[in-house]
Amino acid sequence: MKITRILLSLITVTSLFVSCQSDDDNSLIEPVSEERIIVSHEGASVSGSTSIISLDLKTVNNKFYDTVNEEELGVFQQSIGFNDDKAYIVVDNQNTITVVDKVSFKKQASITEKLKTPRYIAFANGKGYVTNWGDTSLATDDFIAVIDLASNTVESTIAVAEGPEQSVIKGNKLYVSHKGGFGINNRVSVIDLSTSNVKEIETLFLPDEMVLVGDDLWVSCEGTPVWRPEGESIGGLIKIDTTTDEITSSIEFPLGQHTSQMVFENGNIYYTVSNEIFEFAITETTLPTTAVTEGAINGMAIRDGIIYVVDAKDFASGGTLNTYDLNEEKWGTPVTVGVAPAKIYFQ
């Protein structure tokens, strides 16, 4: 009865297949000591991750945290904050901040209590200030968690308006852009860190990225996208004088143009609309009409006249990191990073 032999061999072959599985070999590479790029990936259907890349993009270590610590941090790895010799990895769905050594990324502690959809962290006076959306379906429970960096615990919270996103410290004040979480919002909160008093400045809708230039805080407002039930609204670049906390200028985009990324270097703001990067001298009063360059952009940073850009592709494959040299006006050669790269930091 030949059939039994066929079957038997089929099942035996299975056993061989099964026992020959090899693990992914992510060889551990020692962290470099010179200046390097850190890319934070949000993740999607796979875990968020961190890549470490040399400035010339020649050496790429993907899944760096995972390799060092043999664990994944989950989704969505929203941002990383750096303070002294530590890095703080913020993962929003997991409601955690993982404290690691800035160089080796070896895990030191994790903050898991009293955070709810944490987004970004800023540092001042030995404390970390973390924006939290709270329950994403509630507009009224959003807060800033104040973290005691010595004990890595949340020592208090400050209630704020819906959807606190990025934050910037200026003097003893924390500026928070309220993009609105799953809703929409149009304000920047100014929090006095001594008294925890909150003052709100009304902006255009969906304020997100902020850069501090001297006493001026530039805020990019995306404007409400067309698919929102509230209807489309215009976006723009807003300047807030941090000495008075008043808006001193507001430059609006035409309806239908929604900015996303914004960085600053040498007197110029570089911002994106759709897939284009524009250069805007902050002394100007009107927006440029022609783009510097274009490319798919999910995250952007700038250093020494070179724009670094991550492209998340289809969010189901590895994304890429590439550079655009503003002087030579040319793109570099992209390198593959993890799934859904979103933030670029220099270290």
Interacting residue with other proteins among 204, 339, 341, 344 (CB under 8 A): 339
3-state helix vs strand vs coil in the chain, percent to 5:
5, 50, 45
How many chain residues bind other proteins (CB under 8 A)? 60
Q: Which one of residues 50, 51, 189, 260 is an interface residue with other proteins (CB under 8 A)?
A: 260
The contacts of residue 274 (CB under 8 Å, 6+ apart) are 257, 258
Query: Which of 55, 109, 124, 138 contacts other proteins by CB under 8 A?
Result: 138
CB 79 within 8 Å of CB 64? no
Stretch that binds other proteins, among 39-47, 161-169, 193-201, 262-270 (CB under 8 A): 39-47
315 contacts other proteins (rule: CB under 8 A): yes
What is the C-alpha to C-alpha distance for residues 323 and 308, in angstroms, rounded to an integer? 5
Give yes or no for residue 170 binding other proteins (CB under 8 A).
no
Nearest distance, CB of residue 243 and other proteins, angstroms: 34
User: What SS3 class is residue 7?
Assistant: helix
Are the beta carbons of 95 and 111 closer than 8 angstroms?
A: no
17 binds other proteins (CB under 8 A): yes
| 14 lies in the binding site for other proteins (CB under 8 A) | yes
Which of 119, 178, 187, 258 contacts other proteins by CB under 8 A?
258
Q: Is 140 in the site for other proteins (CB under 8 A)?
A: no
* Closest approach of other proteins to the CB of residue 94, in Å: 6
Query: Minimum distance between the CB of residue 6 and other proteins, rounded to whole angstroms?
Result: 8
Shortest distance, position 319 Cβ to other proteins, whole Å: 10
71 binds other proteins (CB under 8 A): yes
Least distance from other proteins to the Cβ atom of residue 225, Å:
5
Biggest alpha carbon–alpha carbon distance for the chain? 92
Single out the residue of 196, 268, 293, 336 in contact with other proteins (rule: CB under 8 A).
Answer: 336
Contact 239, 248 (CB under 8 A): yes
User: 297 and 311 in contact (C-beta within 8 Å)?
Assistant: yes
Phi first, then psi, for residue 159 (nearest 5°) are -70, 135
DSSP per-residue string spanning 212-250? EETTEEEEEE----TTSTT-----EEEEEETTTTEEEEE
- For residue 287, the minimal CB distance to other proteins (Å) is 16
Residue 290 three-state SS: coil
Written as one letter, the residue type at 32 is V
Shortest spacing between CB 45 and other proteins, in angstroms: 6
Q: Tell me: does residue 275 bind other proteins (CB under 8 A).
A: yes
Using alpha carbons, list the distances in angstroms from residue 281 to 77, 264, 274, 290, 295: 32, 10, 20, 13, 21
In the bound state with other proteins, the residue whose beta carbon lies nearer, of 18 and 150, is: 18
Q: How many CB atoms lie within 10 A of CB 175?
A: 23
Q: Determine the Cα–Cα distance for residues 311 and 21; give it in Å rounded to an integer.
A: 32
Kindly list the residues in this chain that would bind other proteins in the complex (CB under 8 A). Answer: 1, 3-4, 6-8, 10-12, 14-15, 17-19, 21, 23-24, 43, 45-47, 62, 70-72, 74-76, 93-95, 135-138, 182, 222, 225-227, 232, 255-256, 258, 260, 272, 274-275, 296-298, 312, 314-318, 336, 338-339
